[in-house]
Amino acid sequence: MRTYHICHTCIVFNFQHHGAARLASTSVVKQSDGGLFGWLLGGKSSQLPPLDVPLPGITIPPPLPDYVEPSKTKITTLPNGVKIASETSPSPAVSVGLYIDCGSIYETPASSGVSHLLERMAFKSTVNRSHLRLVREVEAIGGNVSASASREQMSYTYDALKNYTPEMVEVLIDSVRNPAFLDWEVKEQLQKIKSELAEVSANPQGLLLEALHSAGYSGALAKPLVASESAVNRLDVSILEEFVAEHYTAPRMVLAASGVEHDDLVSIVEPLLSDLPSVKRPEEPKSVYVGGDYRCQADSPNTHIALAFEVPGGWNQEKTAMVVTVLQMLMGGGGSFSAGGPGKGMHSRLYLRILSNYAQIESFSAFNSVYNNSGLFGIYAVTSPDFSSKAVDLAAGELLEIATPGKVSQEQLDRAKEATKSAVLMNLESRFVASEDIGRQVLTYGERKPIEYFLKTVEEITLNDISSTAKKIMSSPLTMASWGDVIHVPSYESVSRKFHAKTPPRPSSDRSRPARLPMASHIILPPDDADENHGQAEGEELGNDDDGEHGASSEQAPPKAALPFSATCVRISRDSYPNLRALRNASSVSLADAAYVKISEGDFGYVLDDVPHLTDYIPEIPTYPNPLQDHPAYSTVKQYFVNEDDTVPQKVVVQKNSRRGVHFRRAGPRQRVYFGPDEVKACIVTCGGLCPGLNTVIRELVCGLSHMYNVNSIFGIQNGYKGFYSSNYLPLTPKSVNDIHKRGGTVLGTSRGGHDTKKIVDNIQDRGINQVYIIGGDGTQKGAYEIFKEIRKRGLKVSVAGVPKTIDNDIAIIDKSFGFDTAVEEAQRAIDSAHVEACSAENGIGLVKLMGRYSGFIAMCATLASRDVDCCLIPESPFYMDGEGGLLQYIEKRLKENNHMVIVVAEGAGQDLIAQSIATSDQQDASGNKLLLDIGLWLTHKIKDYFRSKKMEMTIKYIDPTYMIRAIPSNASDNVYCTLLAHSAIHGAMAGYSFTVGMVNGRHTYIPFYRVTSTRNKVRITDRMWARLLSSTNQPSFLSQKDIDEASEADRLANRPPLPTVFNHRVASSFEQSASNSSNGEI
C-alpha cells in the first residue's frame, strides 16, 4: 500500500491496491485517534466520502447541457435612425457602448485634432452633471467608463453589474449627448494632450503607424489621429461644439450592449435617443492610396522600419480582409526575447526564418490596419542601424515569398487558420470585446454577422487565396517609414524595385542642362503648425478663384495631414525628384505634391525653395542659345542674363547674426533656353473674376513672345479653363492685341468653376501646346499646379507659367498683385464722393463698401490715401455694434464732433454679425461658393435704426463701386507692373521652369505653385501699417486683448515659412527669422 499525505488544506491521496479514496484535511473532517500527527505513529487518517457523494444539506445544481446555443444579436432601429443592438449572456455584468460613425477622417483643417480632444473630454461635465458627480455615480456602482477615438469611429463604453443597466445607459447617453465643454476643462485636457505629444514622439511604433498613413494616403486616412501641437493651440470650445453638432447625429449612432435583454435595453434607450435629429448620413470622405516614404532621424541605438502596402476594399471586401488576417497570423513574428513558446508565434514564418537566425534583429512582425474601404499590410522591424539594409531585404523577401505560389505549405496555412479562429473566439469571450464587436459591425455593415460566418470564411481560405491576395496587395505602391538612425536605410526607389520591376529609373545626369544649385540631402516643407492654412484636397476644382466675383467666397479644402510630432523627420514621394533624399511630412504639401517640391540648403542658413524644371523628369533634352543675345535692344545691356545661382531673399530686414533665410529663384532671361522659336506653341488663358490689368498681361505676353523670342504660334483660350474643350482657339498676334490694354476686362473672356484636369491636358497634348500661361487668382493657380502635375506625369515637354491675379492683394509671398494700385486709386475716388455727400448734409454719413472678402488691403490703403475716412472696417479686425465703445456709439460721437463722417468697409467684414442678426441662406455662385451677405446694406439699416431710436436726424449715402472698379483699365503703375510680370513669365517658361511669377522685396522671382496657394496674405492688425490707419482715422480698435493675442498667433502661424529637416537648428533659425521679420502689411 502506498499513501501520500499532505497536511492541512492540501489534498491527500491514498491509493489502496487499484482503488483510490479522496481524502482531505479540513475542519469538517474528523481527526484520527492519534491526534493531528498520529499518522506518523501508525494511526489512521480521517477519511472523506467520495466526491460524487453529496455532502449533507448541500443542494446539487443541475448538470450543464452538452450544447448551449450561442446568443443571437438583436437589432432595433428607432424612427430617427439610431440603432440599438445587443446580445444576452449569463454573466452578472453588462458592457454598454455608444458607437458613432465619426473620427479623424471627418476632420477639417480648422477642426484637426478634435477627435483626440473629444476622447479626452469624454465623461467630463455635462449640462446635467458636474464631472465630480459623474465620477461619484460611476464609482457608486463599481463601474468602469472609457472612450476611444479612431480614424473612422468614436466609442464610449460603460461596464458594471447588470442590475445597474438603466443608470449606466443614462450616464453614457448624457455624457455623449449633453457635454458641457466647460472652458477650463477643455483647456486642462489640451494641456494634457500637449504633455502627451512628447511621449508619443518618443514612441517609434506609434509614430511610424501615423507616418504610414500620412505618407501612404492622400485624403481622409492621411489625417493624423493624434492632435498636433498647432491643433492643440487652435482647438477650443466652439470647435468641439460644432463638430459634435455636425457629426453626432442619429443615423450615425449605434448603442450596443453585451449581457442584457434586448427588449429591456430598448425600453431604456428609446426615450433618451429618440429625439436626436435624423440627418442624412454623409458619404465617407475619400482616401486615395498613393504610397510614399517617411524618415525620421532620431537619437536611438536602433532603427525602426516599416514596409506596407494597401489592402484594397478594407472590411467591405470581407474575403480579402479575412485572408489578410490569416496572412498576419501565418507570418507572425514578434520580439527576439518573447516571440517563442507554444501559442506565441514559435512556428510562425518570421520567427522561424528571421528571428531565430539573425541576432541583430530585435523585433520582426507582420501587421495590418484595416478600415472600411482600405487598409495597410506589411512588416515592422527593429534592428541595429548597420543591419537596417539587410533587414529591409529580409522583409521584402518574406513578403515576396508569400505572394509566390508553392512557398507556403498546407501545414503552415492550417496552423495559421486555427490560430486565427482561436484568437477570434477567445477575444469574444470578453464582454467588452463582444459589445465593441457588435457596435462596430453594425456601423460598418448595418448588421452583426454571426461568428460562424467568419469562421467559415477562414476555414475556406486556400493556398491560392494566400498567394493571389498577397500578390494583389503588393502590386500597390510601396509605403516605407523609418525612425532612429536612418542613414543605412535603403532608398525608396531601390526597395520599390524589388516589388515593382517597372519602377521608372532615376534620370541620368545631362550636361546640357543649366547649372543648378546643389540639392540638399533633406527637403524643407512648411511646418506642422501651419497646417490650417495649407494644402488642398485631391481633385480640387480649377479656376475657382475667390477674388473673381463680388460677394463670393470659397471654403478652404482639407489639407494634407501632418504628423503631430516635433522631430527631424522627412517624407519622400515614390516619384520624388531623384536628387532629393527626403521631404518633411508637412501639411502644406500633399504626398502627391511631394515629387514637385525642391528645396536645398546652403551655407549660413541659406535655403532655396526652388521650382520644378523640365530636366527633373526629361533628362535628355536639348538646349538652345537665347535669341536675346542677338537682339539689338538687349545685346548691349551689361549682364542682361540672369545667373543660375541668382536668388532673391524672402526677407530683407536682418539682424547682425541673422541667418540668410529662405530664397526664391530670381526671374529673368537665361543664356540657354529649352525651346526653339519655331518649336514654341503657346496658349494664354484667363480665369476667375475681372481685374484691372488683365488685358495688359495678355498684350505683353503676346508681344514679348513675338518680339523677344520670335514666337509666332500663340493662341488664346476663351472663357477660362472650359475653353480648352473648344475646337477653336483665338489666334493672337502683336497687331491683334496692340491696344487692348486700354480696355477693361479680358478680351479672352473668363469663367469660374471646376473642370477636368485630364481633359485639359489631353487637349494640350493633342494640339501640341508646349507653353501654357495661366492668369488668375489662387483657385486658378491651384488649377495650374494640377495641370502641371498631370503634364509631368505624362512626361510632356510643357512649361506652365502662372501669373497671379487678385484685386484684393491676398495672394501669399508676393509684394502685391497687379490691379491693386488701380483698385486703390479708384476706391479713393469713391471715398472722395462719399465725403462730399456726407459734408453736404446735416449729420451726413458716407458709407463705401470696397472689395476684400478675406483681406482688407484695398480698404486700408484707400483709407490712408484719402485721409477723409473716420472709420475703416476690415475682415481681419473684428468689431461690435452695440454698447460701450461699439461702432454705433463711435458714429454718434463722431457726428456730434464733426457733423459728418465717412465709413469704409471691406465686403468680408462683419459677416459674423450679420449671421447672428438675420436668417442666412446657403446661396452659392457658379463655382459652388457661398455668397457673402451685403455688409454695406446691413450697416446702413443698423445705423438708421440706431439714430431713429435716439431720435436724431441723420442722412446716410451708401456707395458700392466694386463692379465698376473691377472693370476699369489698369493705371500707369499697373501697366508697367503687368509688363514686367509677363516678361518674367516668358523668360521662365523658355528656360524650362514651371512656376508662379511674382515680385518679392522688389525683385521678380519664380515661386513654387504651392507656396502662393497654401495661405492668404492678410492685413496684420498687430503691424505698424494698421497702427498708422488707426492713428489716421482716430477710430477705436474694437479689439479685446484676446483678439490681439489671437491675431498675433495667427500672424505667426500664417507667416512662418518652411522648416528645414537638417540635423541641427542652424537652418531652422533662418526660417524663424524669416517669419519674424516679414511684414506683409507694408506694401
Q: Would the pLDDT of 942 be above 70?
A: yes
Q: What is the pLDDT of residue 472?
A: 93
Question: Mean pLDDT highest for which of 132-141, 346-355, 744-753?
Answer: 132-141
Q: Would the pLDDT of 851 be above 50?
A: yes
More confident residue, 592 or 880: 880
State the average pLDDT over residues 508-518. Answer: 33
Identify whether the C-beta of residue 605 lies closer than 8 Å to the C-beta of residue 659.
Answer: yes
> How many Å separate Cα 292 from the centre of its chain?
16
State the average pLDDT over residues 166-180. Answer: 94
Q: Residues near 342 by Cβ (< 8 Å), separated by ≥ 6?
A: none
How far are the Cα atoms of 481, 614, 722 from residue 759, in angstroms, in the given order? 35, 22, 10
Q: What is the pLDDT of residue 23?
A: 37
Q: What is the pLDDT of residue 603?
A: 75
- Is residue 630 exposed (0-12), middle (13-18) or buried (19+ Cβ within 10 Å)? exposed
In 517-660, DSSP assigns E strands to: 568-572, 598-601, 606-610, 624-625, 647-649
State the average pLDDT over residues 1036-1058. Answer: 64
Dist CA 280 CA 288 (whole Å): 24
Domains 78-203+216-274 and 599-818+972-1013 belong to one CATH topology? no
DSSP codes of every residue in 15-37? EETTEEEEEE--TTSPPPTT-TT
- 668-688: pLDDT as tens digits: 999 899 999 889 999 999 998
Dist CA 490 CA 506 (whole Å): 15
**Residue 431, phi then psi, degrees to nearest 5:** -60, -40
Dist CA 284 CA 442 (whole Å): 16
* 599-818+972-1013 placed in CATH 3.90.110.10: no
Name the superfamily (CATH) of residues 291-497: Metalloenzyme, LuxS/M16 peptidase-like (3.30.830.10)
- Residue matched to cell numbers 458619404: 283
- Residue matched to cell numbers 499646379: 785
How far are the Cα atoms of 309, 331, 387, 390, 396 from residue 401, in angstroms, in the given order? 15, 11, 21, 16, 9
β-bridge pairing 871-873 and 900-906:
parallel
Q: What is the pLDDT of residue 740?
A: 93
The cell for 241 is 461644439
Q: Which of 41-45, 108-112, 163-167, 748-752 has the lowest mean pLDDT?
A: 41-45
Q: Would the pLDDT of 1069 be above 60?
A: no
Q: Would the pLDDT of 534 be above 70?
A: no
Q: What is the pLDDT of residue 630?
A: 80
Q: Residues near 854 by Cβ (< 8 Å), separated by ≥ 6?
A: 546, 553, 808, 810, 875, 908, 1016, 1018
Q: Which amino acid is at 882?
A: D
Q: What is the pLDDT of residue 722?
A: 87
Q: What is the pLDDT of residue 41?
A: 55
Segments in 450-595 forming alpha helices (H): 451-459, 463-473, 492-499
Q: Would the pLDDT of 582 be above 90?
A: no
| CATH code of domain 825-916+930-969+1021-1052 | 3.40.50.460
β-bridge pairing 19-24 and 154-161:
unpaired
State the average pLDDT over residues 70-88. Answer: 90
Q: Would the pLDDT of 33 be above 70?
A: no
- 451-466: pLDDT as tens digits: 888 889 999 999 999 9
Dist CA 704 CA 734 (whole Å): 9
Q: Which of 212-216, 694-698, 1060-1064 has the lowest mean pLDDT?
A: 1060-1064
Q: Would the pLDDT of 1083 be above 60?
A: no
The annotation places the binding site at: 689, 752-753, 777-780, 806-808, 851-853, 907, 963-966
Q: Which of 479-488, 679-688, 1009-1018 has the lowest mean pLDDT?
A: 1009-1018
Q: Which of 248-262, 487-501, 574-588, 852-866 has the lowest mean pLDDT?
A: 574-588
First to last CA, the chain: 109
Q: What is the pLDDT of residue 508?
A: 32
Q: Would the pLDDT of 723 be above 50?
A: yes
Identify whether the C-beta of residue 388 lies closer than 8 Å to the C-beta of residue 311.
Answer: no
Q: What is the pLDDT of residue 920?
A: 58
State the average pLDDT over residues 861-878. Answer: 92
- 594-628: pLDDT as tens digits: 556 777 777 777 888 899 999 988 888 899 999 88
State the average pLDDT over residues 956-970. Answer: 91
Mean pLDDT (the chain) is: 80
Diameter over CA atoms, the chain: 133
Q: Residues near 632 by Cβ (< 8 Å), separated by ≥ 6?
A: none
More confident residue, 150 or 1042: 150
State the average pLDDT over residues 15-36. Answer: 42
- Residue matched to cell numbers 511631394: 594
Q: Which amino acid is at 266?
A: V
Question: Could you tell me the pLDDT band of residue 306, with boundaries at 50, 70 and 90?
Answer: very high
Question: Could you tell me the pLDDT band of residue 1052, with boundaries at 50, 70 and 90?
Answer: low
Question: Could you tell me the pLDDT band of residue 2, with boundaries at 50, 70 and 90?
Answer: very low
Q: What is the pLDDT of residue 705?
A: 96
Dist CA 984 CA 944 (whole Å): 51
Dist CA 548 CA 745 (whole Å): 12
Name the superfamily (CATH) of residues 78-203+216-274: Metalloenzyme, LuxS/M16 peptidase-like (3.30.830.10)
Beta partners for 93?
Answer: 161
Q: What is the pLDDT of residue 919?
A: 64
> Considering the chain, what percentage of its residues have pLDDT values greater than 70?
79
- Residue matched to cell numbers 464609482: 139
Identify whether the C-beta of residue 1055 lies closer than 8 Å to the C-beta of residue 1000.
Answer: no
Dist CA 798 CA 800 (whole Å): 7
- 874-887: pLDDT as tens digits: 998 999 998 888 99
Question: Could you tell me the pLDDT band of residue 491, with boundaries at 50, 70 and 90?
Answer: confident
Domain ranges of the chain: 78-203+216-274, 291-497, 599-818+972-1013, 825-916+930-969+1021-1052
- 793-846: pLDDT as tens digits: 899 999 999 999 988 888 888 999 999 999 999 999 999 999 999 999 999 999
Task: Tell me which residue of 595, 524, 626, 684 sits closest to 1062, measured CA to CA.
Answer: 524
Q: What is the pLDDT of residue 158?
A: 95
Question: Mean pLDDT highest for which of 574-588, 735-749, 907-921?
Answer: 735-749
Q: What is the pLDDT of residue 277?
A: 85
Whether 293 is catalytic: no
The C-alpha angle with vertex 551 and arms to 546 and 555, in degrees rounded to 5, equals 45
Q: Would the pLDDT of 390 be above 90?
A: yes
Dist CA 852 CA 469 (whole Å): 55
Within a 13 Å sphere around the CA of 170, how many CA atoms are in the beta-carbon half? 12
Q: Would the pLDDT of 560 be above 70?
A: no
3-state secondary structure of 166: helix
Question: Could you tell me the pLDDT band of residue 588, with boundaries at 50, 70 and 90?
Answer: very low
- 142-171: pLDDT as tens digits: 999 999 999 999 999 999 999 999 999 999
State the average pLDDT over residues 633-658. Answer: 79
Active-site position among 808, 821, 868, 925? 808
Q: Which helix (H) or strand (E) holds 861?
A: helix 857-866
Q: What is the pLDDT of residue 988?
A: 96
Dist CA 438 CA 85 (whole Å): 7
Q: Residues near 206 by Cβ (< 8 Å), separated by ≥ 6?
A: 200, 226
Q: Which of 50-59, 241-250, 343-352, 487-496 has the lowest mean pLDDT?
A: 343-352
